[in-house]
């Protein structure tokens, strides 16, 4: 089965990001395909490379990046939600006159069209968070 995943909550404000990560990992281990993981609303905060959680806490950004690299996941951060929260890739940073980018490895910034496309291509669209 092909699944598309939507993560609407940040990594440390709600259980949704943890649950989405573990669901995605389990689905891949069971042989399901992941069309795309789309991070929307506060979920875009999973894609910043500047988080520094305490040593005894989980690092969801790192976990997502490692899972994405291992399985070749297409992990898309919504451009509008990311810009509102100060998450930029190199192109967007230049376009807006900022001196740095902070998108994490394995994530890319794109628009809502990527969410629509994933929903069309997947057998199921699974949403985590409000």
Tell me the HSE value of 80 on the side-chain side, using a 13 A CA sphere: 7
Tokens coding 13:
């404000």
Instruction: Reply yes or no on whether 83 is catalytic.
Output: no
Tokens coding 1:
């089965």
For 75, the 3-state DSSP assignment is strand
Q: Which of 76, 78, 82, 115 is catalytic?
A: 78
CA distance 62 to 68: 10
Question: Per DSSP, what are the bridge partners of residue 48?
Answer: 103
Tokens coding 55:
């040593």
| Residues recognised as catalytic | 78
């Amino acid at each position: 089965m092909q699944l598309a995943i939507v993560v609407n909550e940040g990594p440390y404000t709600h259980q949704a990001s943890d649950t989405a990560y573990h669901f995605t990992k389990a689905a891949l281990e069971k042989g399901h395909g992941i069309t795309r993981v789309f991070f929307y609303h506060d979920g875009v905060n999973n894609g910043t490379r500047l988080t520094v959680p305490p040593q005894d806490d989980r690092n969801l950004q790192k976990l997502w990046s490692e899972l994405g690299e291992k399985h070749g996941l297409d992990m898309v951060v919504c451009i509008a939600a990311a810009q509102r929260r100060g998450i930029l890739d190199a192109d967007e940073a230049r376009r807006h006159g900022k001196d740095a980018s902070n998108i994490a490895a394995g994530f890319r910034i794109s628009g809502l069209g990527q969410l629509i496309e994933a929903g069309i291509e997947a057998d199921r669209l699974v949403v985590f968070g409000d």
